[in-house]
Chains A and B, each alone.
Chain A
Amino acid sequence: MDAMLLKRIHISNSTDIDVAMAHGAYASVEKAYAMRPVDVLDEVRRSGLRGRGGAGFPAGTKWSFASMDPKRPKYLICNADEGEPGTFKDRFILERDPHLLIEGMIIAGYAIGAEQGYIYVRGEYPAAFDILERAIGQSAAKGFLGNGIGRKGVSFDLAVHRGAGAYICGEETSLIESLEGKRGQPRVRPPFPANAGAWGKPTVVNNVETLANVPFVIGLGSDAYARIGVEGSTGTKIFSVSGAVKRPGGYELPMGITLREIIYTHAGGIRDGRDLKAIIPGGVSTPMLTAGHLDVRMDFNALLATGSMLGSGAVIVMDDRTCMVQATSVIVRFFEHESCGKCTPCREGTRWFSQIYRRIMKGEGRENDIEVLLSICGKMKGMCFCPLGEGAIQPVMSSIKYFRDDYERCIRKQGCDDRACRSKANMNVQPGQSESKCSLTG
């Protein structure tokens, strides 16, 4: 199928409002304003649109909670803190089609009754910050933002808020804390942001890609939209494909496409003539899969059924030279660094993970290390304050489940053996280093 969300990104000057409008931008705003807010909300609910940030919560349902809450003002926040490692899908929209996002936010704001929106963009996307500020200025100049806009005379303003490098702020309550000027640490839920979010007011937090779908839900109508993709996962998904593939990149494809098609048809297959070893389907916090899972369909329910998750749709591909102990050590180091420190299981657990992996890589693995790792997973599971800790145990559990051999070899041989860690091309063991030790974290 043709690209929908990414259809304008290759047009030159696509960030300019006149160019974007010549290619359809803002057409759905007028259509939405001709409807009642409740009908717009209903269209989104009927479309089956689910959140694209990772959790897959139905967007229309989330909106309706905030819409029904009588407290005012209400806030709409776009989560553009795209921090899940391997994910770069939102970057295309933020940097190349900001008006699509703004259009989606105008419609969402109208549906829930918000008069102020914020785009929380990660600090690592400085270009996106400037592009969004310029786009908002252009949109306001055309009368799409401000007071008394459209025939209904609604008010809606937008501001860009720049994050400063904290993965935890992708979690919506931490994002709200950060927006309020605090350290990005999660809040206890309930109350949910829909009832008590930013400054205690009803707040909807949606991912960039979720909001970018809204103009198409309204433009096509919910029935036509719901025919894209598969039941339970409607629409398209932008897959961020990285790692050991020939053509890494962002691919917008219908929900329900197989991993095999994504990796082999679109991303060109495995580079350097190697074989596939492992796939992370939705960013590093989603459980790893193997070559045996290539025919799994990439949609929310099918991935859950295999024991993994669609997450952000960040497909990280590893070839047969990758030592999974080493790869997992990189992931746990990340979680140790990003744990916000608020709750003990996550703060301590991620640190222990990191120490144990570092020890194994240094050639000091102990016979019971696998059991110790699994026992830490068991003590973190369901015990962490927010999804960060839950995410940290997934790579550990799944890599042990599918690649236990790698662990046993690393521990038994006191460091990784030749086939895996010593591979120079893949994991950077430098010539001349001890052959029995890993270089990555050692």
Chain B
Amino acid sequence: MRKLLILCVAAMLAASCSKDTIVNTPCNFKLTVDWVKGSRAQFTISPENRNACYVYGVMPYDHPLYNSSDEEIIKFQLDWMHSDYANARYEGTIDGDFVDMFCYKGTRTVKSRLMSPDCDHKLLVFQIDPESLEAIGPLHTAVFHTSPVPEVDIHFTIQCKGNSFCILPSDHSLTWFWEYEASDRITDVYGSPYFFYYDILDMYDEYDFLSGILSQGPERWTLPDDDPSIKEGVPYVMSVSGCSADGEITSSVYYATFVYQGGQIEFVYSDMPLMAEE
């Protein structure tokens, strides 16, 4: 009896839930390119039917299929996704469904990153039948051109004394950015902290927070006053580069590793010249 009643309660709850509607007829999409920078762009994708399932991608001008027919592009994208999904299933890393892994429903604001500056790209959107997992309807596209990112001539010297260091840029008129993080938090599969650094910059830009932390001219840092969360004996990787106001890296990225121990900062590696401060 109690089981029956609990099922009633569950049914009451279920009745109040929204239902997933399967859409397998084509609908229109509105694509908006919100903004474009040198290596990043943001788009808003709005399907006419909010339950329509769709995927998106960005194709650069130098992709072999850039000027191919819509059908060829859809086939290429879909084949890649099915192959990726099948491999993941085979390796046992995925047990969810294709739609959850690749598809979106409803209006989404999405970003593309790590694009080449100053060249054409094409935003690609097409609808998927969530049951057959085949494409339905046409390919929806929006072409945009990434901004140029002028490379600047800036390099850095580090002066260090006791518990503080000073980063000296070669050109005091240029803006630059630096960041450090415990080395075990930097998990770039390529063994370089570049992508960690790019992600941090991208994050600050995304949250409209970059302007207050871009540097210009020399910058001094004293531990632990400037960072009470610093941990003693832990190696930290520091990354430094020229950076534009909109968060694009404008020079080579330079790296150093330091350890704070017993009230002293010791640099154990640096590809920037190190100077003892008088």
A in complex with B: no
